[in-house]
Amino acid sequence: MGNFSSIHAAKGRIFKLRRKPIQLGSLDSHGATMSHEGITTVRVDNRCDFSSYSDLCICVVTWNMNGQVTYEDLAELVGNNRKFDLLVIGLQEVPRKNISRLLRAALLDSHILLGKSIMQSIHLYVFGLKDSDLFTKEVKIDKSPVGGFGGLIRRKKGAVAIRLNYKGITMVFISCHLSAHAQNVEKRNSEFRNVSESLFSQKLNPYATPAQITVWLGDLNYRIQGIGNYPARDLIHNDLHRLLTNNDQLLQEAERGQIFEGYSEGTLTFKPTYKYNIGSSNYDTSYKVRMPSWTDRILFKTQDTEEIHATLHSYEAMDDIHSSDHKPVKAHICLKLSKPS
CATH number of the CATH domain containing 96: 3.60.10.10
pLDDT > 60? residue 258? yes
Strands of 56-64's sheet in order across? 111-119, 122-129, 86-92, 56-64, 329-337, 308-317
Q: How far apart are CA 331 and CA 333, in angstroms?
A: 6
In a domain, 226, yes or no: yes
In the chain, the number of structural domains is: 1
What percent of the chain is modeled with pLDDT above 90? 74
CB 219 within 8 A of CB 272: no
In a domain, 233, yes or no: yes
Q: Which of 102, 99, 103 is nearest to 87 (CA)?
A: 103
- Which span out of 6-15, 30-39, 246-255 was modeled with the highest average pLDDT? 246-255
Domain of residue 256 covers 40-337
In a domain, 8, yes or no: no
Residues 78-132 have pLDDT tens digits of 998 888 999 999 999 999 999 999 999 999 889 999 999 999 999 999 999 999 9
Judge residue 337's burial from the number of C-beta atoms within 10 Å of its C-beta, 0-12 exposed, 13-18 middle, 19 or more buried: middle
Better-scored residue on pLDDT, 49 or 328: 328
CB 41 within 8 A of CB 294: no
Banded pLDDT at 2 (limits 50, 70, 90)? very low
pLDDT > 60? residue 35? no
Banded pLDDT at 154 (limits 50, 70, 90)? low
Banded pLDDT at 23 (limits 50, 70, 90)? very low
- Give me the pLDDT at residue 74, please: 96
Q: Which residues lie across from 6 on neighbouring strands? A: 16
In a domain, 159, yes or no: yes
In degrees and rounded to multiples of 5, residue 338 shows phi and psi of -75, 140
In a domain, 35, yes or no: no
In a domain, 9, yes or no: no
Work out the angle at residue 8's Cα, subtended by the Cα atoms of residues 5 and 9, and round it to the nearest 5 degrees.
125
In a domain, 202, yes or no: yes
In a domain, 192, yes or no: yes
Q: How far apart are CA 129 and CA 114, in angstroms?
A: 9
- Report the mean per-residue pLDDT for the chain: 87
CB 240 within 8 A of CB 231: no
